[in-house]
Amino acid sequence: MKFFADTAEIDDIKDLAATGLLDGVTTNPSLIMKSGRDFIEVTREICGLVDGPVSAEVVALDHAGMMAEAEKLRKIADNVCIKVPLTIDGLKTCKALSGDGTMVNVTLCFSANQALLAAKAGATFVSPFVGRHDDNGFDGMQLISDIRLIYDNYNFGTEILVASVRHSVHVLEAAKIGADVMTAPPAVIRGLFKHILTDKGIEGFLADWAKTGQTI
């Protein structure tokens, strides 16, 4: 499963990219706002830090407006992935962009039927929001399972990008289902490294090593 960082914070992206485990980045208007930086400038810098897709979201709601914004965004770098909402106009834009080879991430997916439409529109990625789904009394992981079944039934090439990931259990369950990608805040990704028994093991080894009086 590919790991994307859901952030626009450059220091976090640099730190995670240095591990060699980061496959891409997703941003949205809220994350750009939190960074306090110019949208185009920060997107360009992120694209230079990772080789994989960097999702940059349009803010227009009509097809013509989305296409105009996408034209500007895809000039930033070759690895820009245009993010559009799962609406009729968003899917029209997805179809047009994917038809000429542009990567498209269809976001704010909350049903398997919506995911089916995104795949038919040629989306590179579809982003079901599991955390928000859970918050509203639904089963986010069941949504991922349903999408995986449908996509496998018809051999769709659209990748399932699990979004709104809140904790390590979301990552584990998504991987078990067979999601292609997960995007999570840096804190959640760093949490995957942590286990109390790993920490205790290191502590014990270091204590024993200190008793030997040796150095390497």
Q: What residues are labeled active site?
A: 83
d(CA 134, CA 166): 10
Q: What are phi and psi of 180, to 5 degrees?
A: -80, -35
d(CA 117, CA 106): 10
d(CA 22, CA 18): 8
Q: Which helix (H) or strand (E) holds 4?
A: strand 2-6
d(CA 184, CA 170): 10
- Position 133: which residue type? H
